Amino acid sequence: MAKIQAIRGMNDILPEQTPLWQFVESTARRVLRQYGYQEIRMPVVEQTDLFKRSIGEVTDIVEKEMYTFEDRNGDSLTLRPEGTAGCVRAAEEHGLLFNQTRRLWYTGPMFRHERPQKGRYRQFHQIGVECFGIQGPDIDAELLILTARLWQELGLGTHARLEINSIGSSAARKEFRGALVDYLGQYKAQLDEDSQRRLDTNPLRILDSKDPGTRKLLTDAPRLEDYLDAESREHFDQLKKLLDVAGIAYTVNPALVRGLDYYGKTVFEWVTDSLGAQGTICAGGRYDGLVEQLGGKPTSAVGFAMGLERLILLLDTLGLVPEEANSNADVYVTAMGEAAVAPALALAENLRDELEGRVVISHCGGGSFKSQMKKAGRSGARYAVILGENELENTTAGLKPLRSDEGQSSVAQSDLAAVLAKALAN
Ligand code: ATP
Ligand code: MG
């Protein structure tokens, strides 16, 4: 019978890869905690209308990427394509936004029916960060400072660059949209197919078209910058100043408009050149209108989401995976002969008490000296501890380095933890 396989674009994350995932996740968790962000966990499925009303009917996501289905009651449900909508829904539903500020984050799988390719999948994972109730550019700056710290802690250094833009108030965008449509309408036939369609549905998205012909027409098109309202302009100027003082380098990219309806004022992306076309590792912006649009009181909001697959791909591609994220084992404790089994389990237990954070694997299942040492070697551990008849008699243990040519030595069991602690620290 043919074996059943995973769904295209939905990946298994295998045991060799999970240490790197855990490194990225725990680093993010630690950094977010340092800034006082609190974790929130939402369901993976929401009512379809939530996404239609928040992301917007004429966006790529809602038009063609959502996994939407009818459940047994005939309700239209959707696997979440992103986290902001669900986060706002949950925060509103539980009164988290009333007269207060909130700094929230979440992580988990997202689902989009896109063409699978490197850095683009149908189930992928994001860490999302959202901040509610703060109006000024200081919080926009904080989010960008936080992300810069995260790249540092991940060892990414300067491999991600920041692009920012302001897309103004909705009134300003509306006026600009009119001017853009008037201008591009004259050249409709010369636009690429997607852009022709977007001229009627979502003309701002034409600004980030990759088509050379369309790009050429755009050089003389009206500029969003010239239509910005005074408040958005002031907000953007202040943000730039705050970033300058914080020492966060950025470029202003006037073509950056983001694909979702709910953004306004600040938008930003962290981009790398090392992943080809899927170079955006983190994206977000301000969305002051969304809470009200979903039935709540007007609430300032700003946030971003980063794609974990792309971050992990980047660390891998650049060879920046730290040792701790590569190794699944530190010490492998063998037991030679029936009599050694219980003492070896006890010795391993003692090592776990003493060697905080270290991975101690007990050999289970018996076998010859040779086969146990082979398994010790394959485990990735740096040291094998050998317990046999002689060692039991003398309350010692054999200690054998597995990644050098050094020979085996004999250590008193009472000294073993201290000796290993020192050896592993090198
Ligand atoms: P893109 O322009 O690459 O399609 P997007 O604007 O659709 O990205 P967002 O909705 O802003 O992406 O999601 C935030 C981040 O999530 C992206 O910057 C990216 O890192 C990641 N991401 C988005 N879609 C996918 C996907 N299909 N597979 C893997 N990661 C993704
Ligand atoms: Mg997309």
Which ligand does the CA of 208 lie closest to?
Answer: 1
The two beta strands, 409-412 and 396-401, are antiparallel
DSSP 253-317: -TT---S-TT-EEEEEEEE-STTTT--EEEEEEE-TTHHHHTTS----EEEEEEEHHHHHHHHHH
pLDDT of 327 reads 72
Phi and psi of 222, rounded to 5°? -55, 150
- Matching residue, tokens 């298994």: 12
pLDDT of 5 reads 97
Residue 108 tokens read as 């988990």
Mean pLDDT by 10 residues, the chain (426 residues): 96 93 97 98 98 90 95 98 98 94 98 97 98 97 98 93 96 93 94 91 88 92 94 98 98 88 93 93 96 95 98 94 81 97 97 95 96 95 96 97 94 97 92
Torsion angle of the four alpha carbons 31, 33, 35, 36, in this order, in degrees rounded to the nearest 10 = 170
Q: Is residue 90 within a helix (H) or strand (E), and if so which, with residue range? A: helix 84-93
Largest CA distance in the chain: 93
How distant, in Å, are the alpha carbons of 51, 176, 181, 254, 403 from that of 226? 31, 8, 15, 11, 63
* Among 175, 178, 207, residue whose Cα is nearest residue 192: 207
Which residues, judged by CB distance below 6 Å to any ligand atom, belong to the binding site of ligand 1?
82, 112, 114, 119-121, 124, 126, 259, 278, 280-283, 305-307, 309-310
Q: Which of 115, 124, 150, 274 to mutate to test the pocket of ligand 1 (most atoms within 8 A of CB)?
A: 124
pLDDT of 98 reads 87
| Ligand 1 atom closest to residue 258's alpha carbon, by position in its atom list | 6
Residue nearest to atom 24 of ligand 1 (CA): 120
Q: Which residues 6+ apart lie within 8 Å of 19 measured at CB? A: 324, 325, 326, 327, 328
Instruction: Report the C-alpha gap between 173 and 152 in whole angstroms.
Output: 35
Annotated binding site for L-histidine: 82-84, 112, 126, 130, 258, 262-263
| CATH 3.40.50.800 residue ranges for the chain | 328-425
The conformational region for residue 51 under phi > 0 = left, psi -120 to 50 = alpha, else beta, is: alpha
Instruction: Evaluate the CA torsion angle 30, 31, 34, 39 in order and state its sign.
Output: negative
pLDDT of 202 reads 87
**Residues 338 and 345 sit within 8 Å (Cβ to Cβ):** no
Residue 276 tokens read as 């080809």
Q: Ligand 2 centre from 287 Cα, in Å?
A: 18
Q: Which residues 6+ apart lie within 8 Å of 170 measured at CB? A: 264, 289
- The pTM score is 0.92
Instruction: Report the C-alpha gap between 29 and 107 in whole angstroms.
Output: 10
Q: Ligand 1 centre from 307 Cα, in Å?
A: 6
Architecture per CATH, domain 18-168+228-317, reads as 2-Layer Sandwich (3.30)
Q: Which of 278, 286, 315 to mutate to test the pocket of ligand 1 (most atoms within 8 A of CB)?
A: 278
pLDDT of 201 reads 87
| CATH 3.30.930.10 residue ranges for the chain | 18-168+228-317
Q: Which residues 6+ apart lie within 8 Å of 127 measured at CB? A: 25, 28, 105, 106, 107, 305, 306, 308
pLDDT of 333 reads 98
Phi and psi of 44, rounded to 5°? -85, -20
| Ligand 1 atom closest to residue 122's alpha carbon, by position in its atom list | 27
Which ligand does the CA of 277 lie closest to?
Answer: 1
Residue nearest to atom 10 of ligand 1 (CA): 82
Instruction: Determine whether domain 328-425 maps to CATH 3.40.50.800.
Output: yes
